[in-house]
Amino acid sequence: MEIPIFTVDSFTNLPFKGNPAAVCLIENELRDDLYQSIAAEMNLSETAFITRRKSMDYSSGSRFGLRWFTPTCEMPLCGHATLASAAVLFYMKKNVNPVLVFETLSGELYVRQHEESLIMDFPLNKPKPQDQHEIKDLLKAAVGDLPIQDVCYSPTTKKLMVRLADACDRSELVSLRPEAESLLRNETTGKINSLIITLKGAESTQSGYDFYSRVFAPWVGVSEDPVTGSAHTVLAGYWSEKLKKKNMLAYQCSSRGGEVKLEIRNDGRLDIIGQAQIILQGALKI
């Protein structure tokens, strides 16, 4: 059996930047252990698997099944691999539909093209305040002695969000080096699958970014996720209220970097906007 596969850099207009995802086009559902083995072989933060619906091909069909796997487990929601999947269908398969619908563990997700970008229609996951004392050891492992302004948790996505105090600057966020082993040792409840550390954008700079972030997810086999759309469903819910804005521009400060545009819609959902670059195509032989 041969499976078409692509590597796509998401949330960037440059190759080798943003967040790489593998995208596989499969004719029929595979065994779960085979999905997991392929994702472990790819060894990227996520590998996406697209299946056709109602026997339509990849160029004319508008509805597809979509699953995401890290090297160690299946994920209920992944933004950058959804963006990568839509890029393969729109750019490589020349899909003719204005909107693609993906059936996922998080419900139906919609992606459309707009000029050089792709727009994903995602749920908005507003986080709730978290008692810092209950997780003080984890916070210490994450940010050391840097001052913290807010800590919030999203039970839907199992993401913990830590906002650094405004006295911190971007360089301090970039310099953080939390150890995966320490994070794992200080969070064993299973309630958290990733840690988001975020910082308000400085009004004195010319970047135009409303906030910055980094994401660490050793609990699902990903030490640092370079740019993650699912984290921004949480970040958008938090920062929209704090900044009193519905349209925001964010930058994820990983070593690869990545830019994400966010627009909170009137129906309470979130448009996540980004570009993607397809850098590799081939076939898996199984």
Q: Do residue 208 and residue 150 come from a single domain?
A: yes
* Together in a domain, 8 and 93: yes
- Which range marks the domain in which residue 53 is found? 2-120+274-285
Closest CA to 232 of 208, 255, 254, 248: 248
Confidence of residue 191 (pLDDT cuts 50, 70, 90): very high
Same domain, 107 and 26: yes
- The reply to whether 132 and 237 lie within a common domain is yes
Q: Which pTM was predicted?
A: 0.95
**Do 71 and 11 belong to one domain?**
yes
Which two three-digit tokens encode residue 20? 């790489």
Question: Do 58 and 168 have their domain in common?
Answer: no
| Nearest to 50, CA basis, from 93, 12, 14 | 93
Q: CB-based contacts of 105: which residues, under 8 Å, 6+ apart? A: 67, 74, 76, 77
Say if residue 96 is in the same domain as residue 143.
no
Residue in 127, 166, 168 with CA at minimum distance from that of residue 146: 168
Residue 54 pLDDT:
76
Instruction: Looking at the structure, tell me whether residues 8 and 66 fall in a common domain.
Output: yes
Q: How many domains does the chain have?
A: 2
- Tokens standing for 206? 């010319």
Q: Looking at the structure, tell me whether residues 261 and 281 fall in a common domain.
A: no
CATH for 77: 3.10.310.10
72 and 17 belong to one structural domain: yes
My answer on whether 56 and 107 are in the same domain is yes
Taking only the tens place, the pLDDT of each residue in 42-75 is 999 999 999 998 767 999 999 999 999 999 999 9
Summarised one tens digit per residue, pLDDT across range 193-241 is 999 999 999 776 667 999 999 999 999 999 999 999 999 999 999 999 9
Percent helix, percent strand, percent coil in the chain, to nearest 5: 25, 40, 35
Could you tell me the two tokens for 18?
């943003």
Residues 113 and 165 in one domain: no
User: Known catalytic residues?
Assistant: 46
